[in-house]
Amino acid sequence: MFKENEILKEHKPSIKEVNEYIQKWSTLEDYVNQEKALDKLFLNLCLDNKSIENILIKCSALNDFYSTNIFKVHNVAQHYSRKNIDERLSNGDLSLVGDLAHIVINGKPFYFYSFASKYCSHHRPDIYPIYDSYVHKLLKYLRDRDNFYKFKEMDLKDYSSYYEIIHHLCMFYGLEKFTVKDVDKYLWQLGKEAFNRYQ
């Protein structure tokens, strides 16, 4: 059943609101500097994914900056090294996120979905939106309130479906002028405001 969120009562995605949140993002010095550092790492210093060293340093930086609690970073880097990342990124292959996310460590399966979306996004921010638990909750809320697109909650954990959901959100609210990264910044900030109980 739909339940109104007090913080979100006054919010509806719009060009004006997204611009306000992009501006707000630019004032968050720690996030801005972290993103600049990650851009330098992913887009200049360690652009390709041919060596385990390049993958490992990128995974380590993401894990630290985003506090993703990947407890076996080396295992993740080894797993990534077997996935033909560069060609698939070049082709905008959405299935890459799911292939990176599914990993077995010490015989136990894990699904590092958000982390995989971040890894792909930092290589191709023009294509890959970042999955985040705050955004997950916000998309469900907007679906129930505004009916912007029909989807099941499980669809949010399938990356091709998640990509389509973000696309339909932009179409429904008239946000096509914004980049994928701009929409990421907006949805994450608003979702965090609405659903982070520790703020």
At 111 the three-state DSSP class reads strand
Looking at the structure, tell me whether residues 101 and 156 fall in a common domain.
Answer: no
Neighbours of 51 (CB within 10 A): 12
Greater confidence (196 vs 137) lies with: 137
Helices and strands of the chain, counted as H and E runs: 10, 2
Mark which of 123, 141, 173 sits at the end of a domain.
123
Residues 114 and 184 in one domain: no
Residue whose token pair is 């299935």: 95
Distance CA 36, CA 25 (A): 13
| pLDDT at 2 (0 to 100) | 52
Domain assignment present for 61: yes
Residue 102: phi and psi, rounded to 5, are -80, 115
Last residue in a domain, options 90, 123, 156: 123
Q: What is the pLDDT of residue 70?
A: 82
pLDDT in tens, 131-159: 999 999 999 999 999 999 999 999 999 99
Q: What angle do CA 47, 50, 51 make, to 5 degrees?
A: 100
Same domain, 94 and 171: no
- Check whether 86 has a pLDDT greater than 70: yes
Whether 23 and 35 share a structural domain = no
My answer on whether 20 and 63 are in the same domain is: no
Distance (Å) of CA 145 to CA 57, 115, 140, 142, 189: 42, 28, 9, 5, 19
Rounded Cα–Cα distance for residues 41 and 44 (Å):
6
Q: Do residues 66 and 113 share a domain?
A: yes
Q: What is the pLDDT of residue 3?
A: 60
Range 24-49 average pLDDT = 89
Q: Does 111 map to a domain?
A: yes
Do 112 and 53 reside in the same domain of the chain?
Answer: yes
Mean pLDDT of the chain: 90
Q: Which among 123, 151, 167 is the end of a domain?
A: 123
DSSP single-letter state for residue 104: E
Same structural domain, 44 and 115: yes
Residue 1 inside a domain? The answer is no
pTM: 0.90
**Residues 77 and 16 both lie in one domain:** no
- Residue 9's pLDDT band (cuts 50, 70, 90): confident
Q: How many domains does the chain have?
A: 2
Residue 199 reports pLDDT greater than 50? no
pLDDT in the model for residue 146: 92
The pLDDT score that the predictor gives to residue 106 is 86
Nearest Cα neighbor of 122 from 186, 63, 189, 53 is 63
The domain in which residue 77 lies consists of 31-123
Q: What is the pLDDT of residue 30?
A: 85
Instruction: Quote the pLDDT of residue 64.
Output: 86
Residue 88 lies in a domain: yes
